[in-house]
Each structure stands twice: as structure tokens, then as C-alpha cells.
Amino acid sequence: MSGGLLVAGTTSDAGKSVLTAGICRWLHRRGVKVAPFKAQNMSNNSAVVVGPDGRGGEIGRAQAMQAAACGLAPDLRFNPVLLKPGSDLSSQVVLLGEAVDTITADSFRTLRPRLAETAYAALAELRAAYDVVVCEGAGSPAEINLRAGDYVNMGLARHAGLPTIVVGDIDRGGVFASMFGTLALLDPADQALVAGFVINKFRGDLGLLQPGLDMLGQITGRPTYGVLPWSLDLWLDAEDSLAYGRVLGRPAAPRGTDWLDVAVVRLPRISNATDVEALATEPGVRVRLTVEPAELAAADLVVLPGSKSTVADLAWLRESGLADAVLAHAAAGKPLLGICGGFQMLGRAIHDPVESRRGSVPGLGLLPVEITFDPRKTVRQSAGTAAGDVPVRGYEIRHGYVSSAAEDLTPLLTRADGTGEGAVVGAVHGTHWHGAFESDEFRRRFLTEAARLAGRTGFRVAPDTEFAAARERSLDLLGDLVEEHLDTDALWRLVESGPPAGLPFVPPGAPSPTG
């Protein structure tokens, strides 16, 4: 068979990514050869994939997570177009893993036909190779101002004849209005592909919700395929919705007598914030994303994460007062970690004629390195060791490189070729490697040292925490939720047979898209 399904949403962050992953895991467990697909993703949270030519390329991290749900290694075709916002007005375009351009809204219109052609070709290849391809939409299909050039939502569904389900987040409120409105704003040909709905993040008595589901079915002629409950355990591999002040996950009680409090600065253009999720899997470690200087002052460990716009975010750090809080934290001898863009900020100077084009700007001066940006982007998987014998794996996505460093600089890591990576000066640590803390032994050693530097003598790492196993448990939970709470027989009929015939039109509808 060559089945397919499009998971669309009433809004961004409605649950498309997790529902897609859950359906993928459900199908995978049934023995179906299934793959994920997102024609275009807009996210600074990306994963490195080794392409067929041996070079590293980028796809959205959600598609890498969905690939794992399918039991697959990531493939560049799973997310052929990735837009990485560098500001409110421009984005870097990554096409089949390779950064090819930086665009504005106006220039995007010119490039869009090429992007759509690439996306359609990738989907065709996947449908020829797999039994089922589960596609994820982007934003909402009812963004009627963008419909004429759409190749991600109903444009994709129309092109490939995909049955579509619309997921709505009930936690936001107004879910019935948003689902009805999403359908009613589509033109007749698009509506004919929308088979039904899924409610996400429900808490409470399902009996109180049922009358609304029944009425929605009556006025739209479409069923609700199920209601997914709210689950606090679904927080790994988040896209770009990490909230201010939120503690990641549900931290388990400490193995010792002390907690370790970690404050992660939520930069305006934060990238790969999922780096800190590995820290949050450890018992006794509380990880919070914040923009409050006071929370940095109270933290044991402060993390400066990656950034798509290092120089601009460094300026914001100074303007917000957070830079002073970071400097005070370091001056107190408490541990500080910079990852990729955060590492670059900790240096003496940044020379950037590429990303911000602001030339040379002073860094925070906490590490004896200078960073220079190169037009060629480094995208690769990396492996090495820490402390001589601790294996570490990670990945790199960056334009900046260390162009100058003190001769006696102590590296944080050692690459497989024996060269140093990153830096350590006292309690200040920095590395360009994303994903390094998913290496269990390295994470434990780092947190043990961070606790010592912070004076948390009663903190103990757990010897049995495995990040990869935690990720698998999360994917299995998604599959369980789909099996237990959705009408999987009806979903399978959609996948196997396509959109049901005779779905009614819901007025007023939008004009047919052109262009």
C-alpha cells in the first residue's frame, strides 16, 4: 500500500508534532513500515542528519523525534524545507539539509515554487518507499492569507490526496469554535479532504465534553476521532514552546539530601533548547527556563543555550540586566555553562560579518577565546571524550568557530582526532557541541562537578538514569495514548482508503486559492 495522512492543527502548538509521533509509533508497533514528513518547518530546534553523500544536514528536531517513533534513523527527506528565524523579518532557508539562502517575506514568494517542488518530490519518494507516510502540517490550514502558495497544509493534502485530521488544544480554550472555524474557512475542495477532529490536552470528566463533540459532529458532518488526555510526562523534544518560568518535566526526588537548581536563559532567538532536557531527566535536578535576573542569582547552575542570532541575543542579554546577573554568578565561583551560541557569548570577542554583520563586538570576557563567523556553516555529528575516558557524542550546527584562544586553555572535551573542543576556566564551561549531555556518564560527571562548585554537597547523581531510555518511554507513551484514546480502526480506514466520500460542505468557505 501507499497510504498517507495529514495531521493539521487549529493553531501552532496544538499538538500536531506529538500526535504525528504517536500515530507513527502506533503504526510501527503494528508492523507497518511508516515514515514521518513535514514539508516545511519553521524552527531553530534542529537535528543533524548524515545525508547520502556523507555530509551533515539539518532537519527539524520534531521530525527526528518522529523518525525515532517509527524505528528509523532521521532522513533529510522527512523535513525537506526548514526555515530558521534569525529575526522577526528574516529566516535562513535549509533545503534538504543544506543552508541555501537567507530570506525575507518578500523574497520567500520568489523562492516558494522551488521549495514546494522539492517538498512534493521528497514526499513522492517516501510514499514509494514506505507503506504509510504520516504528514504534519504547520501552523493552521485556515491561514487564508497564505493559502494561495501553501504546500504544507491543505496545499500538500490537495496535491497528494491526503485525508486530513485537525487537532485542537482544549487547554487554550475555545476549541470547538477553533475547529469549526478552521473547517468553515476552507474552500470546498479543501474541506472535502478534512475527515474529522482530535481533541488534545483534555483534563476532567469526558461526559461533560461529549455533548459538545456530538454537536460538532452534527454541524460539520465529521467525527471526533478521540480525546487525548493531558500528560505531564510528555515534555521531551519540545519544539519552540518552552514557557518562561516553567520547570521542565516532573523532576524526581533527589538521591541525596540536596536539589540542584538550574536556570536556563531563554534567549529571544534560542536554538536547540532541548540540550537542557537531558539535565532535567536526572533526579534532584530542577531545570527552569527564565528571563528573570533574580532567578539566575538564586540558581546553582546557569546555562546560556544556543542562539540563531548570537550577537543580537548578546545585546539583549546586556539590555535586560541578565548579563550582569551572569557575571555576578561567575564572580561568586558558581558554575556557568555556555552551549554553542552561549559559549560564543562567554568569550572575549565575537567577529561576525555573516549573521548579524555587526563586525566585532565584545563578549562577556569569561573565557579566553575569540569567535569568528564563517559563511560556511558547520553541520556535523561529533564524538570524543571528556576527562580522558568518558565517551561523549553530540552534534554541531554553527557559523562561528574559535579563531583565537589562550595557549594554556583547558578544553571541556576532546574530539576523536585528539584536538580540544570548548573551554573550562574555573567554574565556567563552554562547548559548541549540542546534545553532549545525552551521554549519560558525561552528564553525571558534569552535574557532580557543578554541585561541588555550587556548594551542594548533599547532591548525588543517579547511577541508572538513561536519557535514551527516557526518550523511548516518552514515545511509547504517545503510542499508548493513541491506542487507548483514539478510534484507531477509523484512522486506519483513512490511511488505507483516503478521504471519505460525500463529506458535507460547511459554509461560508473561502474562495478557491489561486497563484
| Active site (catalytic) residues | 340, 434
98-103 and 91-95 beta bridge pairing: antiparallel
What single string gives the DSSP state of each residue in 226-272?
Answer: EEEEP-TT--TT--S-PPTTPBPS-PPPPSSS--EEEEEE--TTEE-
Q: Is the dihedral of CA 69, 70, 74, 76 positive or negative?
A: negative
- In 3D space, the residue among 219, 160, 215, 217 whose CA is nearest the CA of residue 193 turns out to be 160
Burial code (b: 16+ CB inside 10 Å, e: under 16) for 183-204 equals bbbbbeebbbbbbbbbbbbbee
C-alpha–C-alpha distance, residues 344 and 146, integer Å: 37
Here the cell at position 469 is 531510555
Helix (H, G, I), strand (E, B) or coil at 387: coil
Residue 131 to residues 31, 126, 374, 485, 497, Cα–Cα distance (Å): 10, 9, 42, 24, 13
390-405 and 369-386 beta bridge pairing: antiparallel
What single string gives the DSSP state of each residue in 396-451?
Answer: EEEEEEEEEE-TTPBPSEEETTS-EESEEETTEEEES-BSGGGSHHHHHHHHHHHH
C-alpha–C-alpha distance, residues 129 and 127, integer Å: 5
Q: In the chain, count H helices and then E strands.
A: 15, 26
369-386 and 413-415 beta bridge pairing: antiparallel
Helix (H, G, I), strand (E, B) or coil at 81: strand
Helix (H, G, I), strand (E, B) or coil at 273: helix
C-alpha–C-alpha distance, residues 434 and 448, integer Å: 20
In sequence order, what are the residues at sequence separation of 6 or more whose Cβ sits closer than 8 angstroms to the Cβ of residue 436?
A: 275, 392, 393, 394, 413, 442
Cis? peptide before 508, omega within 30° of 0: yes
C-alpha–C-alpha distance, residues 41 and 62, integer Å: 9
